[in-house]
Amino acid sequence: MATQILAGKKIAVLVETEFIPEEIKTYQTYFPELGATVDLMSRLWSNPTARFVSDIDEVEGEVPEYIDVNIDFQHVELTEYAAVIMAANYTSVRLRYFQPPDGYPISPEQTRTAPAVQFFAAAMANPKIVKGFLCHGLWILTPMPELLKGRRVICHEVVLADIVNAGAVYLPPPVNSELNDPRNIVVDGDMVTGHSGGDVNAFIDAIAHQIVLQEKGLKLKA
């Protein structure tokens, strides 16, 4: 049994449609083994709950999975969470959605107003909260490139151009790495990034380590 190094800690995971089932299930099992509580949350559009559907590949016999979420991230106290995570795959793209003000044309500046973008901007401004972005997750920060400028990261190659254009310093995975290789994870102080959804276990290990350092009042690993 894993040591309860995160006893009493709360972890927020933002999800949307096109999530990876195995990734979400790992958060829901591994973090509790370490003692933490996991809250799945999303934008609920004033509804009490929302149902999201998983991403599926065109594999014969594969069927989608569903998760029901009843926490709206706009109504939580961010400082209650030791870490906030943007789930992998295309969840970050969907959560970047914003509504232009009535009567005004769409403008690039409005991308910064998406509630999930604002949520992560607030988290990024708080060094006591560990921020986690796996695979495509860094897309949630690109509307506010100043949040990425100069930060050392790793990400899926699909989002690489956007992340580098936002000013981040990309550290590629080793050519011989396998899934859950710790070398597929980059830690930059209070921010942890991972190459792909398949690296979720190593990703959780790195986040847990940063939370423990934060709890002990030690300088977060760069």
CB neighbour list of residue 190: distance below 8 Å, 6 or more residues apart: 127, 128, 129, 130, 131, 210, 214, 220
Supply the pLDDT for residue 10. Answer: 98
pLDDT higher than threshold 90 for residue 62: no
What are the start-end ranges of the H helices in 55-199?
A: 91-95, 115-124, 160-165
Domain 10-215 sits in which CATH superfamily? Class I glutamine amidotransferase (GATase) domain (3.40.50.880)
Supply the pLDDT for residue 31. Answer: 98
Residues 89-120 have pLDDT tens digits of 999 999 999 999 899 999 999 999 999 999 99
Closest C-alpha among 142, 15, 14 to residue 78 = 14
Question: What are the boundaries of each domain within the chain?
Answer: 10-215
Q: Are 138 and 156 in contact (CB under 8 A)?
A: no
| Average of per-residue pLDDT across 32-42 | 98
